[in-house]
């Protein structure tokens, strides 16, 4: 299944959970390499530590992309990643529903992956290269900013990498009690609904 088809399923699942409605922009809007490198250079977590600080790194980079660099169309995406057909995380769509029902999002950090989906099904991920390098699956020259993140069309990534979106948007973090509502509203400069359906 193509990434955009999986992404549309994640959008529908998110709406069914009353976590927001999203529009899928299928036309790619490539980012300039200088902007990508500038976003990367704003990161404060060392490359080797990123694999174990996925939320801090990829949410932080998403925030910089949206609020400092004003790049439109990025959507925070949560789910799984496979490498050569093997899933790296013990998570399915049902796990995200359970995190919302039980408010266990903070405890479940590390059980899923998160990244930014850009228009056209393009991936921006500042964590996976660190994880793959740590597992000996990828050689990374840490001195080169463009090697410290993954950017490209999801269906054309190398190294046997495939992304599997399951939930999208920021409201999941609040509804699952992963991030405090007031903190999220302060960071993103927008209001979020006070109640979420538990359907």
Which pLDDT tens digit goes with each residue over 132-146? 999 999 999 999 989
Residue 196 confidence class, pLDDT cut points 50, 70, 90: low
**How confident is the model at residue 198, as a pLDDT?**
46
Asked whether the predicted pLDDT for residue 10 surpasses 80, the reply is: yes
Its pTM stands at 0.93
**Percentage of residues in the chain with pLDDT exceeding 70?**
97
Q: Is 41 helix (H, G, I), strand (E, B) or coil?
A: helix
**How confident is the model at residue 80, as a pLDDT?**
98
pLDDT in tens, 25-44: 899 888 999 999 989 988 88
Q: Compute the distance between CA of residue 199 and CA of residue 188 in angstroms, rounded to an integer.
A: 26
Contact between 75 and 22 (Cβ < 8 Å): yes
Asked whether the predicted pLDDT for residue 72 surpasses 50, the reply is: yes
**How confident is the model at residue 195, as a pLDDT?**
63
**How confident is the model at residue 141, as a pLDDT?**
94
Residue 199 confidence class, pLDDT cut points 50, 70, 90: very low
* Cβ count within 10 A of residue 125: 27
Q: Compute the distance between CA of residue 97 and CA of residue 167 in angstroms, rounded to an integer.
A: 9
Contact between 87 and 113 (Cβ < 8 Å): no
**Among candidates 169, 165, 159, which has minimal Cα distance to 5?**
165
**How confident is the model at residue 193, as a pLDDT?**
77
Q: What is the DSSP string of 56-114?
A: IIIIHHHHIIIIIS--TT-EEEEEEEEETTEESSS--HHHHHHHHHHT-TTTTTTSSEE
**Percentage of residues in the chain with pLDDT exceeding 90?**
84
Q: Give me the mean pLDDT over the 53-63 stretch.
A: 94
Asked whether the predicted pLDDT for residue 104 surpasses 80, the reply is: yes
Q: Tokens at residue 106, please?
A: 């903070």
Q: Give me the mean pLDDT over the 87-111 stretch.
A: 95
């Amino acid at each position: 299944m193509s990434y955009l088809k999986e992404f549309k399923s994640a959008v529908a699942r998110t709406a069914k959970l009353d976590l927001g409605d999203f529009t899928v922009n299928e036309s790619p809007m490539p980012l300039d390499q200088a902007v990508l490198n500038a976003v990367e250079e704003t990161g404060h977590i060392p490359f080797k530590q990123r694999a174990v600080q996925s939320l801090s790194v990829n949410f932080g980079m998403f925030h910089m992309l949206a609020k400092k660099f004003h790049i439109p169309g990025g959507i925070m995406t949560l789910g799984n990643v496979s490498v050569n057909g093997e899933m790296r995380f013990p998570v399915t769509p049902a796990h995200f529903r359970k995190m919302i029902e039980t408010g266990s999002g903070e405890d479940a950090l590390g059980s899923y992956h998160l990244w930014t989906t850009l228009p056209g099904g393009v991936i921006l991920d500042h964590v996976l290269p660190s994880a793959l390098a740590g597992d000996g699956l990828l050689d990374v020259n840490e001195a080169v900013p463009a090697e410290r993140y993954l950017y490209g069309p999801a269906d054309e990534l190398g190294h046997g990498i495939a992304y599997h979106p399951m939930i999208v948007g920021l409201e999941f973090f609040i509804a699952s009690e992963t991030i405090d509502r007031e903190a999220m509203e302060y960071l993103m400069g927008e209001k979020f609904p006070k109640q979420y359906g538990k359907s």
